[in-house]
Chains A and B, each alone.
Chain A
Amino acid sequence: MSDLKSTGPQTADAPTPEDALHEVAGLEEKNGKSGGPVLAADGTPLKHSLARALRLQKLRALGLIAPLLIFVLVAFIAPIADMLFRAVENQIVSNTLPRTVQALGAWDEDASEVPPEEVYEALYYDFFIAAEARRHTRLGQRLNYENAGMSSLFRGSGRDVDDFREADVEAIQDLDDKWEDPAFWTAMMAGQGGEALIEDRRAAFMALADLDERGVFGDLQCAVSGLFGGACDPAPEDIALNFSISSEIIDLLPLTAMAYADFGVFTVLEDGDVVTEEEPWEAVLVALASDLRALTPEDLAAYEGAARDDLIAAKAAVDQIDPESFAALFTAADEDWGTRSPWLTIATYAPDYTSGYFLNAVDMQKGLDGPEARPENQQIYMMLFQRTLFMSLVITGSCILLGYPVAWLLANLPMRTANLLMILVLLPFWTSLLVRTSAWKVMLQQQGVINDTLVWLGLVDDASRLVMINNQFGTIVAMTHILLPFMILPLYSVMQTIPPSYLRAAKSLGATNWTAFWRVYFPQSVPGIGAGSILVFILSIGYYITPEIVGGTTGTFISNRIAYHISSSLNWGLAAALGSILLAVVLILYWAYDKIVGIDNVKLGG
């Protein structure tokens, strides 16, 4: 009916500066050495002024395209790039357990069954702040995709970690009420030299809690919203923390200083409280006890800062307690911590970037010695990809079968009749996808129109109505119907260009009907079949709505799984990896389409 198509840049009309440039070059060659360069009216060489005009035109064209290009890059290409990035990004482990990941680097998996005590100790401090910020469950959920059971392990241990080494905490607190007084703590820690440590802990906490730095762009946005009277929260990296740590304390009590800095940052950024008014949490006291035990009495005697006598008394108290090891404490909280399995998972997924999601998307996983196949019962994605490809092929095939005769008739009928029949093709094409899908749901369901008709005719027994929906059959029928116009329209536009006299000529030379069609007509219509097939195939492998509604469980596509991972299981990384693979398939087909048909020849509306 129409060919709303674009062709390349036009060349047919008036001369352009480029043509003139060639002309001038030719002219100068002809003049040879005798004449100088051809001059324009203003005395500059004509070549130069033409080149300038050409450059201006190019710039003008680019200037017209630029706004849209930037818009598409930001609103569409950037999201796709972000998805590709998410498919490999894996910073959650190192953000949530930074010290543990660092300590794990020293663990030799072959030498010992489980990591050394230092790793458990690092895990304690990481876990404590993660549990306070309620971020440990998120990591548990993430690692659960790789190793079932991690989620409950993390959730359970988060509750227990508050009570680790309770004896230390109580021993110090029983000594003097001072230890529960926030002001005493601030005074003891206060001093110069700890700024770097505090900023380091602030950065770690911002990574843990997903607080983004505002940056220049954010500041600008803030300033603009300020103009309209909108309030803007201060950026997390700019909030004043109002506490300090002295370098003497850092030297004397390194763990305590670190734990206190964690506590201070958390109190200000997460709770919005003032450090001088809050009692430090248990981890600070546990750290203090560890630090004091490691000190000799002489070290402490040499210390001359605040609360010296209190520290000496505290050391005396904690020295009488035999501390439980963190390894034992974690194992008591959940015996899995005493096994290799969770540690291997953490160590495997510790790097900031991982191929784990992609491996998962092709039914593999990371093992000790590189990628390995997943257990049989967990392999679903290759099956889904195969099903998607298979069903898309079937749909494309049925579209060819149904579309070819229609396109042939339309191309061979007189224009007026063809236009009239074309409405029957275009009407579904223009009808909302959901209208057509709901129509198929109405038609195919067991109490639906088709079953009712069959029962009324007596072809099917009332008790054994056909199951035509929520399976592959339903998806194929509905999607063939929905995509059929995309096959008919390109086929029709190719067939229109085949002269009918060729068929008559073949027949007059003695070909049978079939030979004439197969040897003469069909080869000329192949480009139409190619264009239509690729179009239908590309559209169908990414379909989501129709399989979701009429596909049930056996008729769904890979796209339904992607949607499931985004909105239900929240495994965004896997969704992104599956999406990236699908995107790669589509882009290859798109490239093929471009080679065969040309993007410029995409046709719309018939």
Chain B
Amino acid sequence: MVALTPISRKPVRFYVPTVALAGAFAGLLVGTANGSGLLGAVIGAVLLAVLAYVVTHFIDNEKPVRWAFVILFGIAGAALAGVSGAIIGLAFGWFFGWFTYWLYEGRYRARLAPYLTPGQVLWHFAFRVLVGAILIFLITPILVVMPLSFNAENFFTFTPEMLRFDPEGYSLKHYRDFFSSDDWQQALRNSLLIAPVATLLAVSFGTLAAIGLSSEHVPFRRAIMAILISPMIVPLIISAAGMYFFYSRIGLQGTYLGVVLAHAALGIPFVIITVTATLVGFDRSLTRAAASMGANPVTTFFRVQMPLILPGVISGGLFAFITSFDEVVVVLFVGSAGQKTLPWQMFTGLREQISPTILAVATILVAVSICLLTVVELLRRRSERLRGMSPG
């Protein structure tokens, strides 16, 4: 974004107190960890105020000063709390170096409309900090799980060794557990046996139905749509209860087929929704053109329609796959010990014998979902390009 407002250096009475305030806050954190919060806050405020005044008044060159900040704080951190302290110190140093000049040079104003009052500027940044905190809330649990899965101990929390970045505190032990334990491997195998078959069922039936639904003359379209989408709306526990009762009546409870059917039913709404969405932009004259040139309906479908709606079909399939792969409530009721899937094994693990192997599995699953997310996103862009819409 281009600069909206010409920037100018700010007076001392503005930036020195602000930097001191930030310093007091940082000092409070360091201080409470080391015994006295109040003392830490005072030291932090005074130190940062003096530093900010000195660097802006007596030194003219920005770059070396910011490097000096990083190194200075890094050394201080190392003196206080070893390797982890040094890393925190480096981060603090970088931040305060940047923060001091950001305020001093008035850079914070550059991208804002010139007519904003100081209060509005403050609100603008406070709002961003707030949203940042919410986004961190969204992402932290995942960020915490990943490092913890490399824990060398059987704890669910960071050990002192881990905080000291001692290599002894880290190991691949839980990953080894996962790959060598029969229970987990069996669960992985079951998941990989169930999810693709359920996906295949959902995608093949779902695509056909979506094509039917998108034609102009479907009687009872709304009612049919409501029925087909209902597995997504009905709470899982109710689906699970109903399926448990009904499948045990007809002898499907506790069988592989039963779980596959149940998961396929749960995945169908996602296929329907994504494929009908892709069909919105599909030009029907293409099929007519194909037919007029002598192609039969099957050829038309596979050679003309299918290639164009393929991105939608694949992303619907991915949704169906992840639904089945992540699903635990229904399989818990419809399946038996022979169909124990990965999420089921995790669920038992969380409820009964808590083992950090779960965290290793969780990390692997996060990696898998990142891959799937990327694929879906790429497909979506490709689909929009094909349909002549702009990406984004």
Contact = CB atoms under 8 A, between A and B. Distances in A.
A127 B106 CA distance: 92
B386 interface: no
A3 B380 CA distance: 9
Contacts of A427: 139, 142, 366, 369-370, 373
Given A449-B144, A452-B158, A426 B373 contact: yes
Contacts of A68: 205-206, 208-209, 228, 268
Given A79-B246, A549-B351, A443 B234 contact: no
B141 A582 contact: no
Interface stretch (B49-57, B58-66, B168-176, B270-278): B270-278
Contacts of A562: 237-238, 241
B19 interface: no
A308 interface: no
B291 interface: no
A111 to B, nearest CB: 40
Contacts of B359: 438, 442
Contacts of A65: 208-209, 212-213, 218, 224
Interface string B197-240: 00001000110110111111111011011111111111111111
Contacts of A430: 322, 369-370, 372-373
Given A79-B246, A599-B229, A10 B135 contact: no
B228 A69 contact: yes
A421 interface: yes
Contacts of A11: 216
A506 interface: no
Contacts of A75: 243, 261-262, 264-265
A459 B33 CA distance: 9
A38 interface: no
B138 A432 contact: no
Given A62-B218, A75-B265, A602-B229, A6 B157 contact: no
Interface string A305-342: 00000000000000000000000000000000000000
Interface in B338-389: 343, 346-347, 350-351, 358-359, 362, 365-366, 369-370, 372-373, 376-377, 380, 384
Contacts of B372: 430
Interface stretch (A42-50, A150-158, A572-580): A572-580
B357 to A, nearest CB: 11
B237 A559 contact: yes
A71 B265 contact: yes
Given A61-B215, A434-B328, A605-B376, A72 B241 contact: no
A440 B358 CA distance: 13
Given A54-B217, A424-B138, A583-B238, A69 B209 contact: yes
A428 B237 contact: no
A476 interface: no
Contacts of B377: 1-2
B79 interface: no
Contacts of A604: 270, 273-274, 319
* Interface size grouping (class) on chain B: 35 or more
Interface string A544-585: 110011000000000100110011000010011001001100
A63 interface: yes
Interface stretch (A201-209, A289-297, A402-410): A402-410
B42 interface: no
Contacts of A64: 208-209, 211-212, 215
A447 B274 contact: no
Given A6-B277, A77-B227, A513-B120, A428 B380 contact: no
Interface string A431-466: 111111111111101011100100011110000000
A62 B212 contact: yes
Given A80-B242, A579-B238, A604-B273, A61 B212 contact: yes
A519 interface: no
B288 interface: yes
Contact of A6 (B131, B139, B247, B273): B273
Interface stretch (A13-21, A230-238, A365-373): A13-21
A143 B41 CA distance: 69
Contact of A563 (B37, B237, B246): B237
A299 interface: no
* Interface size grouping (class) on chain A: 35 or more
Nearest to B35: A458
A542 B237 contact: yes
B156 interface: yes
Given A406-B135, A435-B362, A545-B347, A6 B280 contact: yes
Given A5-B273, A9-B216, A58-B219, A538 B233 contact: yes
A63 B241 contact: no
A234 B144 CA distance: 59
Contacts of A602: 229, 232, 273
A72 B268 contact: yes
Nearest to A437: B350
A259 B217 CA distance: 64
8 contacts: A5-B273, A10-B284, A18-B217, A60-B215, A79-B246, A579-B241, A602-B273, A604-B273
Interface of A: 1-11, 13-14, 16, 18, 54, 57-58, 60-65, 67-69, 71-73, 75-83, 86, 402, 405-406, 409, 414-415, 419, 421, 423-428, 430-443, 445, 447-449, 452, 456-459, 481, 484-485, 513, 538-539, 541-545, 548-549, 559, 562-563, 566-567, 572, 575-576, 579, 582-583, 586, 590, 594, 599-600, 602, 604-605
Given A79-B244, A426-B373, A513-B120, 19 more contacts: A7-B280, A11-B216, A18-B217, A62-B212, A76-B230, A405-B130, A431-B366, A432-B343, A432-B365, A439-B141, A440-B141, A442-B144, A452-B158, A458-B35, A538-B235, A542-B238, A566-B333, A602-B232, A605-B376
